[in-house]
């Protein structure tokens, strides 16, 4: 068991690559690159950022029935069922703990909350949230502004990203996770 994951092992690297689509793998590599840059810029551990970034979408391509099984086993709320977008980070964090022996709670939280954010996020959690949103393969209204802001102010970048996330979820008529609202309210103070 590892209290702090230093560098991701070749076995973990290969396992993650095997479980994601080619498109998701390119996204993951982009997130890893951005996370390491942001960690350096904001004084966080590049190794922890790399580990969280590699694992953040580990379960994103799992079939819904497999994710639902994990959701039930973990004891997550029913609104995670049939919702890959919300559940994949939670399940990945659980697998990191149980199957990969990663005990560092900051890394686990960064993976668990990378889609929703949460109140009182650590620097690492903010880095993974932002890196996921600004990696080079992302193309959406506002991503250029978010990329610029990421080099200036991490908190303001999170606020911007959370607002964009809320707009997107609302436009789809999807479930808005309370953690997203709590994260935004906390950062706005």
Q: What DSSP assignment string belongs to 72-127?
A: HHHT--GGGTT-HHHHHHHHHHHHHHHHH-B--HHHHHHHHTTTT--TT--HHHHH
pLDDT, one tens digit per residue, over 92-125 is 999 999 998 899 999 999 999 999 999 999 999 9
- DSSP sequence for the chain: -BSS--S--HHHHHHHHHHS-HHHHHHHHHHHHHHHHHHHHHT--HHHHHHHHHHTTTTTTS-HHHHHHHHHHHT--GGGTT-HHHHHHHHHHHHHHHHH-B--HHHHHHHHTTTT--TT--HHHHHHHHHHHHSTT---TTHHHHHHHHTT-HHHHHHHHHHHHHHHHHHHTPPPPHHHHHHHHHHH-
Domain 10-188: give its CATH superfamily: Hypothetical protein af1432 (1.10.3210.10)
In angstroms, the CA 32 to CA 181 distance is 26
Q: Does the structure show a pLDDT above 90 at 88?
A: yes
Averaged confidence pLDDT in the chain? 93
> Which residue ranges make up each domain of the chain?
10-188
Q: Does the structure show a pLDDT above 70 at 129?
A: yes
Average pLDDT (148-176) is: 95
Residue 107 contacts residue 121 (beta carbons within 8 Å)? no
Whole-model pTM: value is 0.93
What pLDDT is stored for residue 8 in this prediction?
Answer: 64
Q: Does the structure show a pLDDT above 90 at 15?
A: no
Residue 56 contacts residue 132 (beta carbons within 8 Å)? yes
Average pLDDT (38-58) is: 96
Residue 116 contacts residue 180 (beta carbons within 8 Å)? yes
């Amino acid at each position: 068991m590892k209290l702090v994951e230093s560098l991701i092992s070749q076995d973990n690297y290969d396992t993650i690559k095997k479980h994601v689509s080619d498109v998701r793998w390119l996204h993951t590599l982009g997130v890893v690159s951005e996370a390491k840059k942001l960690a350096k810029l904001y004084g966080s551990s590049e190794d922890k950022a790399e580990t969280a970034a590699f694992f953040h979408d580990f379960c994103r391509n799992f079939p819904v029935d497999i994710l639902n099984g994990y959701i039930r086993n973990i004891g997550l709320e029913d609104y995670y069922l049939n919702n890959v977008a919300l559940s994949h980070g939670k399940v990945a964090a659980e697998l990191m703990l149980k199957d990969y022996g990663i005990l560092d709670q900051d890394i686990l939280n960064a993976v668990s909350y990378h889609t929703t954010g949460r109140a009182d996020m650590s620097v690492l959690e903010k880095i993974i949230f932002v890196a996921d949103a600004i990696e080079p393969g992302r193309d959406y209204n506002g991503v250029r502004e978010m990329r610029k802001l990421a080099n200036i102010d991490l908190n303001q970048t999170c606020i911007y990203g959370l607002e964009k996330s809320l707009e997107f979820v609302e436009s789809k008529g999807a479930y808005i996770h309370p953690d997203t609202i709590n994260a935004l309210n906390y950062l706005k103070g």
